[in-house]
Copies of this chain bind each other. A is one copy, B any other.
């Protein structure tokens, strides 16, 4: 996608060098970091220089390719196994991480070092290219939902910064804009980590998509006032019955949309479908540090990145990172294979369909 007029991917690789957009610096500084060793790449994942399922997977695969280029002739496969352990240990709950590392390991299995190096680099590239292609296809399938002048509500960041390119929830908007239909986006700031205000507002602005940030509290009221035509969010996991786990706050937004009859879509690559999970009730919900709620992080007037505390000394907080929206409240699942109902039948079809 476009940053300051130039095309960028969230993650890219050039031989032994992995390049990442440094996300903690956004939106106040745009900077690409170069990583020259797989252990640097692992640290970048654990320190959340990169976040978002698709982007984490591609970064881990690129780290494995780095390791293949670094590994000595003697003990090549041991070196790769050790690198896989290092990279896997960075974000213990990221499904995409293990999957991407496994793909590179499978590609080099049984190969002699020279061929294995080529295979690792090719497989890492394939992981990234497939992620970008899936997100681009999500945009093609979702774009017809966006009419010119549509007012779209979104939550958190399910844009290209969370993937290699295009994104999930925002991809239909980028596609529609290229097709000449301009939309307007209400960006939920997405407390407590402010991914909407920090990342979504920034990447929409880079692409020239008009938007305004709102307190999460205002999303429902804007729907009630008739100022929202449709809602599109991403998903962290979709259960076999169509229930969707996504960033905390998605549920409330879906509840209001349900009561008012406003279309509510969830966009995701089919790798987010989890057929082994029968329903939302079985999706474990991460609880994170109280400090994320008790404090807010941002840039001071002097340009320093600092935190401020709004809560009283000694107060405690509860910090659920995700919630589960019933499939029955979801108008459709926008995938790289088309749009499917958020039902058992729809999820089965989406998981089985060829890429359209």
Contacts and interface: CB of A to CB of B under 8 A. Distances in A.
Interface stretch (A91-99, A110-118, A314-322, A344-352): A314-322
Using C-beta atoms within 8 Å of the partner chain, give the interface range for chain A.
35 or more
A148 interface: no
A310 B197 contact: yes
Interface string A169-187: 0000000000000000010
A6 interface: no
B319 A221 contact: no
A335 interface: no
- Tell me what chain A mostly uses at the interface: helix, strand, loop, or mixed: mixed
A263 interface: no
A89 B215 CA distance: 29
Interface string A96-123: 0000000000000000000000000000
Interface stretch (A127-135, A266-274, A301-309): A301-309
A57 interface: no
A318 B218 contact: yes
A16 interface: no
Contacts of A249: 215-218, 220-221
Interface string A194-218: 1001100110010000011111111
Contacts of A27: 311-313, 315
Contact of A315 (B205, B255, B293): B205
A6 to B, nearest CB: 17
A79 interface: no
A191 B215 contact: yes
Contact of A217 (B213, B216, B255): B216
A276 interface: no
Contacts of A299: 308-310
Interface string A16-34: 0000000000111000000
Contacts of A295: 298
A136 interface: no
Interface of A: 26-28, 186, 189-192, 194, 197-198, 201-202, 205, 211-222, 224, 247-249, 251-253, 255-256, 258-259, 293-301, 306-320, 323-324
